[in-house]
Amino acid sequence: MKSIHILLVEDNEGDILLIEEAFEEAKLVNDLSIAKDGEKAIAFLKKEGSFKDVKTPDLIILDVNLPRKNGHEVLKFIKQHDQLKKIPVIMLTTSSSERDITLSYENHANCFITKPIEAEDFLNAVLSIENFWLSLVKLPTKV
């Protein structure tokens, strides 16, 4: 499998560790970047400041409940920019509210997954993301 670059936008340290562990367990070869708030995610995607030399991600895993700018604001930013809008965005969040689900799809999220409470279920959810989005789906080629 070719290496892909994933941008994880998540502020919860425990969830970050679980996601990293799941990718490690799956022996997924990837380049994982982490932004812990919405403003940092946008700066990363715009390649501003300390992010000027980062690679554009192939896939974005985005939480809804973030400090500074929420996931919906970040998603809207991504999907309004020609250079970014083809990047698949997975909303991975504790929210299961109909409002968040609807707003995510209205803003062109590629899927919405509610984070399971139990650690083992959470790991399985991340492994499912890996299996579907990184093994089965064909991602767009970067220009």
Q: What is the pLDDT of residues 117-132, one digit of tens each?
A: 887 788 788 878 777 8
Using 50, 70 and 90 to split pLDDT, how confident is the model at 27?
A: low
CATH for 4-136?
3.40.50.2300
Break the chain into its structural domains and give their ranges.
4-136
Q: Is the pLDDT of residue 109 over 80?
A: yes
The predicted-structure confidence for 35-93, as pLDDT tens digits, reads as follows 999 999 999 999 999 999 999 999 999 999 999 999 999 999 999 999 999 999 999 98
Q: What's the pLDDT at 95?
A: 86
Q: What is the DSSP string of 20-74?
A: HHHHHHTT--EEEEEESSHHHHHHHHHT-GGGTTPPPPSEEEE-SS-SSS-HHHH
Taking CA atoms, 31 is separated from 72, 98, 134, in Å, by 24, 32, 13
How many residues appear in the chain?
A: 143
Predicted TM-score (pTM) of the model is: 0.90
Which residues 6+ apart lie within 8 Å of 19 measured at CB? 8, 10, 61, 126
Biggest CA-to-CA distance, the chain: 39
Taking phi over 0 as left and psi of -120 to 50 as alpha, with beta for the rest, 68 belongs to left
pLDDT band at 19; cut points 50, 70, 90 = confident
CB-based contacts of 74, cutoff 8 Å, min separation 6: 9, 38, 41, 42, 62, 66
Extract the tokens encoding 115. 């984070």
